[in-house]
């Protein structure tokens, strides 16, 4: 499934190797602004960056657990290089406006990210069992969980990805990344 997505002419990958902390946006173009936010965090911090971007017209959502590094040299290189990953995603639930869901298999990293977001933003931050099923990012095949020291998945509601919240979100995630470099 992932290999077919990458073969589509309206899909592109981007890899920039920097520090051993990496930022990803796997659904750029269809989960609006996630790739822009990831790029800005990487630019501010020197973090490694991996993006998949597709045209809005395509709108093919391949679940993260199907992003197999064996299907992409760039994803494999990213995961071999980084020790910690932050993966940015978008979600939509009417009752969860202005909300960030902080998941991933590393409870320690998720707790640290949650504290940083709560202290630096005016966003609602949910973790653990507060996160709706299917958005926790805990599956072992999810690329955010493959780096040696794990990762944290941020599911961002629509309003989190736009003004006035996006600047404080980028600042908080950048601070998290810098603290681990």
The 10s digit of each residue's pLDDT in 20-74 is: 999 999 999 999 999 999 999 999 999 999 999 999 899 999 999 999 999 999 9
Q: Mean pLDDT over all residues of the chain?
A: 97
3-state SS record for the chain: CHHHHHHCCCEEEEEECCCCEEEEEEEECCCCCHHHHHHHHHHHHCCEEEEEEECCCCCCCCCHHHCCHHHCHHHHHHHHHCCEEEEEEEECCHHHCCEEEEECCCHHHHHHHHHHHHHHCCCEEEEHHHCCCCCCCCCCCCHHHCCCCCEEEEEEEHHHHCCCCHHHHHHHHHHHHHHCC
In which band, very low, low, confident or very high, does the pLDDT at 112 lie, cut at 50, 70 and 90?
A: very high
pTM greater than 0.95? yes
- Rg of the chain, C-alpha, whole Å: 15
- Beta-carbon contacts of residue 40 (< 8 Å; ≥ 6 apart): 170, 174
Contact at 8 Å (CB) between 117 and 88?
no
**Per-residue pLDDT tens digits for 161-176:** 999 999 999 999 999 9
Asked if the model's pLDDT at residue 100 lies above 90, the reply is yes
Asked if the model's pLDDT at residue 8 lies above 90, the reply is yes
Look at residue 56 in the predicted model and tell me its pLDDT: 83
Q: Which residue matches tokens 């995961």?
A: 79
Look at residue 9 in the predicted model and tell me its pLDDT: 97
Secondary structure of residue 108 in the 3-state scheme: helix
**pLDDT > 70: percent of the chain:** 100
Contact at 8 Å (CB) between 117 and 123?
yes
CA dihedral 139→141→144→147, nearest 10 degrees, is 120
């Amino acid at each position: 499934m992932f290999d077919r997505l990458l073969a589509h002419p309206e899909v592109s990958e981007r890899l920039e190797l920097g520090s051993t902390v990496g930022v990803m946006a796997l659904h750029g173009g269809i989960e609006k602004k996630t790739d822009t936010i990831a790029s800005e965090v990487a630019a501010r911090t020197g973090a490694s960056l991996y993006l998949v971007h597709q045209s809005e017209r395509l709108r093919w959502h391949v679940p993260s657990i199907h992003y197999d590094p064996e299907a992409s040299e760039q994803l494999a290189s990213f995961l071999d290089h980084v020790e910690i990953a932050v993966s940015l995603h978008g979600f939509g639930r009417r009752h969860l406006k202005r909300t960030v869901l902080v998941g991933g298999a590393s409870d320690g990293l998720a707790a640290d990210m949650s504290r940083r977001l709560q202290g630096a933003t005016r966003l609602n931050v949910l973790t653990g069992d507060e996160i709706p099923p299917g958005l926790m990012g805990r599956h072992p095949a999810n690329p955010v969980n493959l780096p040696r020291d794990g990762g944290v998945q941020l599911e961002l509601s629509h309003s989190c990805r736009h003004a006035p919240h996006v600047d404080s979100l980028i600042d908080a995630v950048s601070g998290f990344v810098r603290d681990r470099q």
